[in-house]
Amino acid sequence: MKKFFTIIGGMGTMATESYVHQLNLRTPAHADQDYLNYILVNHATVPDRTAYILDHSQPNPLPSLLDDIRQQSQLDPAFFTLPCNTAHYFYDDLQAATDVPLLHMPRETVKEIRQKFPNAKRIGITGTQGTITDKVYENEVEAAGLTPVLPTDEIEAETMTLIYDHIKENNEVDAALYHRILRQMVDEQHADLVILGCTELSLAQEREPEMDIPIVDGQSVLVDRTLEMALKLREE
C-alpha cells in the first residue's frame, strides 16, 4: 500500500472507532476506491495514560507507544495521528523516535479556535485528570495568547465519572451529565467556549450533541486535519 497514514489508536477503542467513523463519513467518496488508505493500530492494552501521569509508579504507556511508532515507521507512512488527547503528554518523545510527522491534536485545536472564534478569550478545557494535570491544552492555549479556564474539582470529578464510569466501562453516554459539565464551564467558570479535550467526550458529542454552547472538539479538528493531509497526499 502506498500513500497511506497510520493511526495510533485504542486509547480507548470506542473513542478510536468514533474518530475513524467520522473520518470515513467526511471523506468525499462515491466508490470503495475513493476512501483513504490508512493503517489502524488499535493498541487497546496500552497502560492508562491518566493513571501514569498522576502516579509514576503505575505502568508507563510510553514504551508501548514507542514500539508502535517504531514498528509502523518501518512501513513508511506519510504521517501519524494519535486520537488520544492525554497521550500527547508523550508527544515530544514519540516525535523524536521517528522522522514521520505526528499530528499534534491539542495544537491543531487551538489553531482552530484562533481561526473560527477570533473573539473568544477565555477558553474552557475539559478532559481527563491526566490532560488537566499535564497541561497539554493549557500550555497551547497560553502560547496562543488566550486565557485557559480549568474545571473546578467538582466539575473534573463529574468529567472523570462520565469518561471512565459511563463511556469507558459501559460504552454509554450520560447525556444529562455531559451537558451539565459543559454548562457549568460556561455559567460557573465563565468560559467563552469549551474544548472537548478527551476523545471520550468527542464520542459523547457524537452521540448526544451539544448545540447551544460554543465548543471545539479536539477529535473533530484532528479528523479535519487528517482528511486535509490525506487528500493532499493522494493528489501528489
In this predicted model, what pLDDT tens digit does every residue of 134-193 receive, in sequence order?
999 999 999 999 999 999 999 999 999 999 999 999 999 999 999 999 999 999 999 999
Q: What is the overall mean pLDDT for the chain?
A: 96
Report, as an integer, the average pLDDT of 122-144: 96
Phi-psi region of 3 (alpha: psi -120 to 50; beta: other; left: phi over 0): left
pLDDT at position 236, please? 84
Residue-level length of the chain = 236
By the 8 A CB rule, do 84 and 104 touch? no
CATH number of the structural domain spanning residue 77: 3.40.50.1860
Same domain? 212 vs 225: no
Same domain? 133 vs 163: yes
Residue 182 known to be catalytic: no
Sheet containing 80-81, strands listed edge to edge, beginning at the edge strand earlier in sequence: 38-42, 5-9, 80-81
Report, as an integer, the average pLDDT of 84-88: 94
By the 8 A CB rule, do 188 and 146 touch? no
- The catalytically annotated residue of 20, 87, 198, 222 is 198
Specify the DSSP element, H or E, that contains 216.
strand 215-217
Same domain? 151 vs 231: no
Say yes or no to pLDDT of 125 above 90: yes
In this predicted model, what pLDDT tens digit does every residue of 200-213 receive, in sequence order?
999 999 999 999 99
Same domain? 13 vs 27: yes
pLDDT at position 42, please? 98
Torsion of CA 116, 117, 119, 124, to 10 degrees: -160
For residue 46, count other CB atoms closer than 10 A to its CB. Answer: 23
Same domain? 70 vs 153: no
- The catalytically annotated residue of 62, 65, 69, 84 is 84
Question: What is the SS3 assignment for 224?
Answer: helix
Residue 8 backbone phi and psi in degrees, to 5: -95, 95
By the 8 A CB rule, do 38 and 7 touch? yes
Same domain? 13 vs 79: yes
Same domain? 162 vs 178: yes
Residue 84 known to be catalytic: yes
Report, as an integer, the average pLDDT of 52-75: 97
Print the domain residue range for 99: 5-103+221-235
Same domain? 32 vs 115: no
Sole residue written with cell 485545536:
109
Q: Per the structure, how many domains does the chain have?
A: 2
| 202/29 Cα distance (integer angstroms) | 23
Q: Return the amino acid letter for 148.
A: P
Rg (CA), the chain: 17
Same domain? 78 vs 121: no
